[in-house]
Structure 1
Amino acid sequence: MSKNPCIDICKFADEICLGCGRSKREIKAWKKLDKAERHTVLAESAQRLQALKAKGRSKSR
């Protein structure tokens, strides 16, 4: 199974976590998703994080 992508930066903009890029729904469902579903979520969340960075709303460390 895919490792949980949470990096403990749980701040949200428009229902998307600025830390991992997942939606609140995806975060809640993570443990119940199968491997293929997790892979899809990870790919979509990576795209969301790139879009947030392009808008200048990236995660801060």
Structure 2
Amino acid sequence: MAKDIENPCVSLCQLNSEMCVSCGRTREEIRKWRGMKRPEKMATVQKAAVRMKAIAKKKSKG
């Protein structure tokens, strides 16, 4: 059996409009996480990582 994808939640929920600025997931992704299949979770984690990089880049620019 394949290993489950780890939830990207860091237990510091800070929703800014439709996205958590702590884990990078959208409100909808957070809501659906438990029901997602492994490929959906992998895609969500990848999208969240891209969003978090964008947030970090924006913060570093000032």
Per the alignment, residue 22 of structure 1 pairs with 25
Q: What stretches of structure 1 of length at least 5 have no aligned partner? A: none
Question: Using the alignment, how far apart are the partners of 1:46 and 1:33 within structure 2?
Answer: 18
Q: Between Structure 1 and Structure 2, which shows a larger proportion of helix residues?
A: 2
Question: Using the alignment, how far apart are the partners of 1:48 and 1:14 within structure 2?
Answer: 14
Residues matched between the structures, number? 57
1:7-46 equivalences under 5 Å are 7-46=10-49
Identical aligned pairs, as a percentage?
30
Per the alignment, residue 4 of structure 1 pairs with 7
Please state whether the residue corresponding to 1:56 is helix, strand or coil: helix
Q: TM-score normalized by structure 1?
A: 0.85
Per the alignment, residue 58 of structure 2 pairs with 55
Matched residue type, 1:35? R
**Displaced runs of 4+ in structure 1, greater than 3 A?**
none
